[in-house]
Every structure is written in structure tokens, then in C-alpha cells.
Amino acid sequence: MYLILLSIFFPILAGAFLLIRYRTPLSGEAKAAQRKTLVTLTGCFLVITALLVVLSLFIAKQKFIPFYLTKTLPIHFMIDDIGALFSLLAVAVMLCAGFFSFEYMKHEEREGRYYGFYLLVFGVLNALCFAGNLITFYLFFELLTLSSMTLVLHNGSKEAIMAGLKYLFYSLCGAYAALFGIYFLYQYTGTLSFFNGSLYVTAIAEHGGFLLVVAFVMILGFGVKAGMFPMHAWLPTAHPVAPAPASAVLSAVIVKAGVLAIIRVLDLFGAWDGALKFLSGTWMQTAWIWLTLVTVFMGSLLAYREPVLKKRLAYSTVSQLSYILFGLAVMNKTALNGSLLHVLAHGFSKAALFLCAGAIIYKTGKTRVEEMRGIGKEMPLTMWCFTIASLGLIGIPPTGGFVSKWYLAIGSLRSGIPVLGVLGPVILLVSALLTAGYLLPLTIQGFFPGADYDYSRLEKKEPCRLMTVPILILTVLSVLTGLLPDFYSSFLAIIGR
């Protein structure tokens, strides 16, 4: 049981140590030696944390209550299939983006502060994945906002500070909406533990109409972190100003905290339990599906029109996350499997894309789409990885995006939901075409710049291994998610309770 606590508090304490030890910027003649020590320590802390998480998944007891907030509200940790899936994604992305940052952050100030908060975020993410009840989840959900905000405003510019404040405002508004629901759930049921759906039978019978409102408000609140319309605007503001590895973590992992929260809420209401399936067929489900489909289409369209590369990828995240939320809103197991597989497929692909964008920015200084002409000639390995990860987001085989979107479409068609059951796959297909329209032109212009391209100025600018290896790992994982989808299903036994 102590492995769970170690996986949470070791990176938090390690991050606090770095914040204290390296609270002032590295400077002077000893800067190179200081930086080497800092990078070595951070790398060791990241690897140890990853090992603690993996050991927790296989060795730790399933349930652990270290103490109680009140007599009836425990701080409760547990390990289950859903938490394991999200924690594995977090470990893979945090390790790859962390090692990528050892090279990328050379041109940034206050590296000690960045790595300190990066480790804090890692520990808080582990706590979210292992939270065993809603109050434990909520406490660390708020801590995730506070710790990750520092990654957004790292460079200290006016734009970064305003983006960080916008992220904070949106996130707090969403969290307070979720807290509204938590109050009433506890009042009517007397428990906030996950997987106690049977305790909701009486509450639903007595307060069913109001609990629908509670469920909808909680989904809207937690949906802010997942970038769901109408509270999505913080994402395209935060990503362009954050360091590229921080953007990768934000887009691939941190936003998934909102998805995990919504899954936990749906579990409480028995969304996939035939005996307690009271959300299906209600106005709440219909309204939620409409919001997800609007977000899918709107995010893709805005990404198609966006000229700044990182901002384009941020709008893409808005769209792709609502693929996941759409599958959850359909509320059948086929669509749910598609959603959970897309958690991995999107996470690996989007992290690879942001790291590719970071490598391009680091080596060339180019940030806009129109500047990418011929970049494939200068950085062929990076652009090949960018292309393969793009295919994953579009949903082209053999990437994970194809399999996950297949499950989403089949689940929607089998749901029997009037109009939306058919309209959903149509909008997903249109969004996929728009995704191809805003990602593949970068590949085409990058590798085929045209006859008038000045090849005499061509210069190889491929980044070092600290940057290319993490990109390659994430790209391979995005493909393996599609080649071995049954491995994830069988290993995690998705919703097989």
C-alpha cells in the first residue's frame, strides 16, 4: 500500500527539493556544472517515479485509506483498470516530454523552477489516477490546476501571465461547478466512493429529476479541463506560450484529467450498469451529445483556419478530446471502448506532434505554418514522425486513431439514439477530413517545397537524441495502439467489473 503513497509523494517532494535548491536562475562560471547536476537529478527522479507507478500497478493492494478528513470522508486511494490506463499514459508522456525538455529548456530561464513544478504535476497526476473517491479526486484535481498553471506562465511574459490567469479562471469555474454536484451527491447518498452505484438507487427514486441536473452540471464543470464547448477557450491561449514539452503534457495528459473525472461521475450514476442506467435517453444525454459534436466540428474548423502551428495543434486537442467525450455520452460499452482507446491514441499522437513542433521551434525558430516549407528536407526524421502522428489523429490505419474511431462510430450506430446516433459518425468523419486538411499540408510542403525552393540554402537541422528518441517512442506507441488494440482491452479489462 505504501507504494501508492510513494508514487504520489516522492515526485512531489522531489519537485519541492528542486524548487528550493534551484530557486535562483543558474548563472556564472559554474552554470554548466549546475545544469548537468539539475538535469541528472530530474532524470533520476522521473525514472524512479515511473518505476514506483508501475510497481504500484502490479504489487500494491487495491484499496488504501491513509486518513479521514471527517468521520465519513476518507482520503482514499485505489488501483483499478481505468486508473491504470490513465497512469500508464501519464508515465509514458511525462518521461518522454521530461527527457525532451533537458535539451529544449537550454534556451529558457529558471530551469530549476520548471523541473520542480514538472515533478509536482507528475505526483498530482498519479494521485488523480489512484483516487478512490470523489473528494480525494477533487482535492488533487484542484492541485493539478495550481501546479500546471506554472508551466503555462513559465517564461514570465505578459502573454504567458494572461494565459495562465485565463487557465486558472476557467479551471476554477469548472471545479466549482463540479463541487456543487459533489455537495448534493453526498447529501442524497451519504457516500462519494467510486463503484457504489447501488447506493444511488434510493436517491434516484426520490430525487431523479434534480440528480439529472447535478450530473449535467458536474459534466460541464469537469468538461472545462477537457476543453468542451463553451469553456474551451483557455486551451488555444495556453499552449502557444508554454514551453513545447509543457504543451505536450498539457494536451496529452493534463486535459485527460477532465475525461477521467467525467468517467468517475458516470460510474457513480451507473451509466454502463443495466440495473441503474437512468442517464440514458434523458435530456441530459441529448444535450451533452450535442455539446460534444459542436466541439468536435468547431475545434477542427478553427484548427484548419489557424496559421500558428502550436495554436493549430491546441485547437486540434479541443476537437479530439470531444471524440472521447462523445463516446462517453453515447453510454454503451462499444463506444466506451473507443473512448478509452482514443485516450491512448490521442495522448501518444498529440504528445509526439507537440514535441515535433518544439524541435522545429528549437532548431529553426519557425512557429507559423507558412514557414514550414521545405522543413522536411532540413529535419526529415522529425517530419516523418510528425506525419505518422498526424495519421493517428486523422484515423488512418494502422494507427490507434483508426481503431478508436471505428469503435466510436459503431457504438454510436448501435446506440439507437434518434438522429444523433447517425449524425455523430457523420460529424466524426467530417472532422477527420478537416484534420487531414490542417495537418497533411505541413507534410506535403515540408517534403515537397516546389521547384522554386532554394536548395542551395538547405541545411540539416535534425535535433539531438535527447529530442528525437522521445519523439520516436511516442510515434511508435501511437502505431502500436492501433496494431495491438486487444492488448489494452485484455490487459486493463475495460469496465469489466
pLDDT one-digit tens code per residue, 373-430: 888 888 999 999 999 999 999 999 888 899 999 999 999 999 889 899 899 999 999 9
Q: Which residues pair with 68 in a beta bridge?
A: 74
Residues 288 and 139 in one domain: no
Per the CB < 8 A criterion, the answer to whether 393 and 416 are in contact is no
Place of cell 522543413: 375
Calpha distance 76→18 (Å, rounded): 28
pLDDT at 319 over 80: yes
Residue range of the domain that includes 445:
280-497
Domain-terminating residue out of 221, 239, 273:
273
Which residues are within 8 A (CB) of 360 and not within 5 positions of it... i.e. 6 or more apart?
309, 366, 372, 375, 379, 382
Nine cell digits for residue 290: 450535442
Which of these ranges, 10-14, 41-45, 77-81, 202-206, has the smallest mean pLDDT? 202-206
Alpha helices for 365-483 (secondary structure H) = 375-378, 380-394, 400-414, 420-447, 465-483
* Residue 495 confidence (pLDDT): 37
Residues 413 and 328 in one domain: yes
* Residue 29 confidence (pLDDT): 64
* Residue 430 confidence (pLDDT): 94
Task: Tell me how crowded residue 44 is: count the other CB atoms within 10 A of its CB.
Answer: 11
Number of folded domains that form the chain: 2
Per the CB < 8 A criterion, the answer to whether 194 and 133 are in contact is yes
User: How high does pLDDT run on average in the chain?
Assistant: 87
Calpha distance 184→444 (Å, rounded): 53
Task: Tell me how crowded residue 20 is: count the other CB atoms within 10 A of its CB.
Answer: 10
489: burial class by Cβ within 10 Å (0-12, 13-18, 19+)?
middle
Domain-terminating residue out of 240, 273, 306:
273
Whole-prediction pTM value?
0.93
Residues 384 and 239 in one domain: no
pLDDT at 316 over 50: yes
Residues 368 and 437 in one domain: yes
Residues 264 and 302 in one domain: no
Residues 410 and 356 in one domain: yes
Q: Which residues pair with 133 in a beta bridge?
A: 193
Domain-terminating residue out of 273, 301, 327:
273
Residues 119 and 245 in one domain: yes
Nine cell digits for residue 124: 498530482
Residues 412 and 444 in one domain: yes
pLDDT at 211 over 70: yes
Calpha distance 440→418 (Å, rounded): 34
Residues 244 and 382 in one domain: no
Q: 63-68 and 74-78: which strand pairing? A: antiparallel
Residues 253 and 292 in one domain: no
Calpha distance 460→451 (Å, rounded): 19
Calpha distance 285→490 (Å, rounded): 29
